[in-house]
Structure 1
Amino acid sequence: MYTAADLRKGLKITIDNEPYIITHFDFAKPGKGQALYRTRMKNMISGLTMDRTYRSGETFEPAHLEDRRMQYLYQEDDHCVFMDTETFEQIHISEAAMGDAKNYLIDNLMVDVLIFREKAIGVDVPNFVNLRVTQTDPWVKGDTSGSDSKPATVETGYVLRVPPFIEEGELITIDTRTGDYSTRVKE
């Protein structure tokens, strides 16, 4: 059990049988009375945020989360299918629970699947992934009137801005934390 004094940014707790992560934390000690702990929390299943204030002495149950290393297999309707490479167990995760991670999934990509009470609630992809550009406008050499980037679509359907020298068919590295182009991969 955690107490209010244990609260801090990044702590994962269970409220009403759902996991929450504290995204903002503030401690206040008024002149009289008990200390106050103001928090902003994000529901790790629905993504909704809420603000709550707690007094010293209140207790919380830790969110028992498990990370399982799994391999992305394929898309089935509005779910993604992952396989545990040790037990060969397969699980389905809805696209809604995936968040932005669905933009970077390619066959056989190893990811960390977050499990809460035997239910998959999210996916952590690697910080950088290599994806092939499937569509982008050609760059006209000497064209200095345009901007320093152009839209490009990668093999997963994700659209991002890339430098003008990137062409269709090239492999690029994308930073999954920001969704931005990182570098061109030498093949």
Structure 2
Amino acid sequence: MPKASNLQKGHIINIDNHPYQVKQIDVHTPSARGANTLYKVRYASLISGQKLDQTYKGNDNLEEMTVDKRRVSFLYRDQNLYTFMDSENYEQYTLSEEALEGQIQWLVDGLEGITALLRDGHPLCIELPQTIDLEIVDTAPAIKGATATNRNKPAELSNGVSVLVPEYMTAGEIIRVNTETGQYMSRVKS
């Protein structure tokens, strides 16, 4: 049973026998003496996708829901359904667009390193790898001498997402992007 002060993004919590995933945590530390630190947590229901906001004191106990974690890879999309395949037993799991909120733009064919969270053999959601390598397909030309400055320019990636990259980057380069923040991390050596 984790305490509210130990809660992390992605944890699955049991609220009224329904699985909710932690999406955001805001910490409020009051300035008054003896006041408790408050943790405002935004959850998303893994069944309906509905949002839920709760506020806790740091020592409040929460009930973590036990889920099975399976390594899967992304196979294909069929309208608003996304199919994944278990890397060990080749079983296929399908999730709706609503269950994958905020993750769809990172799903490229054959993406591996994905973890599916299952309860009683049914998929609830997925966890993407922390980073993904993608190719820059369109960006402004590189500026000579741009390595000396710390300025960025927009670049469109092979999955259609636009991110800010350093000015010296060119189309055709492979970069590493953080799937949680959607920000450029580094260039991938080829």
TM-score normalised over the length of structure 1:
0.73
Are 1:135 and 1:153, in contact at CA under 8 Å, matched by a contact in 2?
Answer: yes
Gaps of 5+ in 2: 29-37
Alignment RMSD, CA only? Answer: 3.4
TM alignment of 1:26-175, pairs within 5 A: 40=41, 42-45=43-46, 46=49, 48-51=51-54, 62-110=64-112, 111-141=114-144, 148-175=151-178
Offset at residue 17 of structure 1 (A): 3.1
Count of residues paired in the alignment: 170
Determine what percentage of the aligned residue pairs are the same residue. 28
Judged with a 3 Å threshold, the aligned counterparts in structure 2 of structure 1 residues 179 and 121 are, in CA distance, closer, same or farther, namely same
SS at match of 2:104: helix
Q: For residues 53-112 of structure 1, give each alpha carbon's deviation from its aligned partner in whole angstroms, at most 9, with x where no partner exists.
A: 79xxxx976422121110111222222211012221111222322233322222222210
Provide the residue aligned with 2:15 in structure 1: 15
TM-score normalised over the length of structure 2:
0.72
Is the strand fraction higher in 1 or 2? Answer: 1
Gaps of 5+ in 1: 27-36
Equivalent-residue separation in structure 1 for 2:153 and 2:40 (angstroms): 40
Amino acid at match of 2:188: V
